[in-house]
A and B are shown apart, each in its own frame.
Chain A
Amino acid sequence: MATDILNERTGPGDLAQGLRDSVPVVVAASPFGILFGALAVENGFTVFEAVLMSATIFAGASQMVGIDLFGQKVAPWLIVFSIFAVNFRHVLYSAAIGRRIAHWGPIQRLFGFFLLVDPMFAEAERRGEQGKRISFLWYMGAALPVYVLWVAEAWVGALFGRMMPDTHAWGIDFLLPIYFLGLVMGFRKRPIWLPVVAVSAVASMIAYNTVGSPWHVSIGALAGVLLAAVFAPSIKQKEEGE
């Protein structure tokens, strides 16, 4: 089979590299995994329901939105729709990553897409950018520790929620924006990166203050992506022509 030639280059080294790449993600996500469990119980979830949500949805921001609306006794369909809205950005990740994992089997791809969270997408794009192959072993090495610990943290947080230290003084509530900023900075070599970031930032802040959360994510992202779609190809052509 043609794919065998490519598969020869993947092995235990890929798995080890994936595990190493998962470490900063695990560190950044842990406080939020625990915080989610604690807040879920506070908003009326049982410990089982908190763990079930982390295990089946596996998307931090949308889980936080979900339990918040649940605590406010919002209609079930609206909770489900809000989770969908927060996670709608994954459609874009899915389209981008699909091109990089076309060599995987169908079952492997199902697992891959299930585990496609923000940092996983960013790590896979970073690896692809370096010209390295996104092998199934590397991907699982990078994704599974994050998933397993995320589920375990919901359980720990739900059990010990009331014993949380002062999360504000230790900056725990702000670690995720810092981490996301780090990822944004990592993409700074891409074409028209600064205009895209500037337009997305302004659009998301305006949307946040007008339409409101969670739509600022989709609206802000769309503004930056449209800017790139309109201007990037012509800039690239110009550079190649020179």
Chain B
Amino acid sequence: MSMTAWIILAGALMTFLTRIGGHLVLSRFERIHPRVEAGLNAVPAAVLTTLVAPAAMNGGPAEIVALATGVVVAFLAGGMMPMFLTSAAVLILLRHLLG
């Protein structure tokens, strides 16, 4: 097997450990402390924000306006699809206009 395949399989093993590890470690505790619970509830918004913020920071006007439109549409329409499609449409339009 090639070195590349070994790198891939080692990366796969580490990834699987991250996906099962949190559960294996946390399920040892019988009762979850309110602070741990509050922290866990904040996890999705906190993590996903870190995938958006630097992308916005590195983006130009088209990217920033597209994201801002997405925020507004999410507040007005609520669902994922209206927000996603409007934001993507704004991005494509502005990139064509702004070159």
Measured CB to CB, the residues of A under 8 A from B are 24, 28, 44-46, 49, 52-53, 56-59, 61-62, 66, 70, 76, 79-81, 83-84, 87-99, 102, 109-110, 113-114, 116, 118, 121-122, 125, 168-171, 174-188, 190-193, 196-197, 199-205, 208, 213, 216-217, 219-230, 232-233, 236
Measured CB to CB, the residues of B under 8 A from A are 2-12, 14-27, 32, 34-57, 59, 63, 66-67, 70-71, 74-75, 80-81, 83-84, 87-88, 91-92, 95-96
Q: A94-B21, A230-B35 are in contact. Are A224 and B49 (CB under 8 A)?
A: yes
Is the CB–CB distance between A232 and B41 below 8 Å?
Answer: yes
Q: Per DSSP, are chain B's interface residues mostly helix, strand or loop, or mixed?
A: helix
Residue of A nearest to B11 (CB): A83
Residue of A nearest to B45 (CB): A187
Whole-angstrom CA separation of A45 from B36 in the bound complex: 42
- CB contacts (< 8 Å) of A177 on chain B: these are 51-52, 55-56, 59, 63, 67
Is the CB–CB distance between A182 and B26 below 8 Å?
Answer: no
Q: A181-B83, A191-B41 are in contact. List 12 more A-B contacts (CB 8 A).
A: A66-B11, A83-B11, A87-B15, A91-B18, A95-B23, A125-B44, A176-B55, A200-B46, A221-B47, A224-B42, A229-B42, A233-B37
Whole-angstrom CA separation of A200 from B46 in the bound complex: 6
Whole-angstrom CA separation of A97 from B63 in the bound complex: 32
Is the CB–CB distance between A79 and B7 below 8 Å?
Answer: yes
Residue of A nearest to B34 (CB): A233
Residue of B nearest to A81 (CB): B14
Interface centre among A49, A121, A184, A190 (most CB of B within 10 A): A184
A221 touches which of B9, B11, B50 (Cβ 8 Å): B50
Is the CB–CB distance between B67 and A178 below 8 Å?
Answer: yes
- CB contacts (< 8 Å) of A125 on chain B: these are 44
- CB contacts (< 8 Å) of A59 on chain B: these are 15
- CB contacts (< 8 Å) of B87 on chain A: these are 178, 181-182
Whole-angstrom CA separation of A70 from B2 in the bound complex: 13
Is the CB–CB distance between B19 and A114 below 8 Å?
Answer: yes
- CB contacts (< 8 Å) of A79 on chain B: these are 7, 11
Whole-angstrom CA separation of A113 from B15 in the bound complex: 10
Q: A174-B63, A190-B41 are in contact. Are A220 and B46 (CB under 8 A)?
A: yes
Whole-angstrom CA separation of A116 from B34 in the bound complex: 25
Residue of B nearest to A187 (CB): B45
- CB contacts (< 8 Å) of B46 on chain A: these are 196-197, 199-200, 220-225, 228
Whole-angstrom CA separation of A183 from B81 in the bound complex: 11
Is the CB–CB distance between B49 and A228 below 8 Å?
Answer: no
7 closest residue pairs by CB, A with B = A224-B46, A98-B23, A94-B22, A228-B42, A95-B22, A220-B50, A232-B38
- CB contacts (< 8 Å) of A97 on chain B: these are 23
Q: A52-B8, A232-B42 are in contact. Are A184 and B18 (CB under 8 A)?
A: no
Whole-angstrom CA separation of A89 from B17 in the bound complex: 11
A19 to chain B, nearest CB (A): 16
Q: A92-B22, A96-B43, A232-B38 are in contact. Are A70 and B57 (CB under 8 A)?
A: no
Whole-angstrom CA separation of A47 from B27 in the bound complex: 40
Is the CB–CB distance between B45 and A169 below 8 Å?
Answer: no
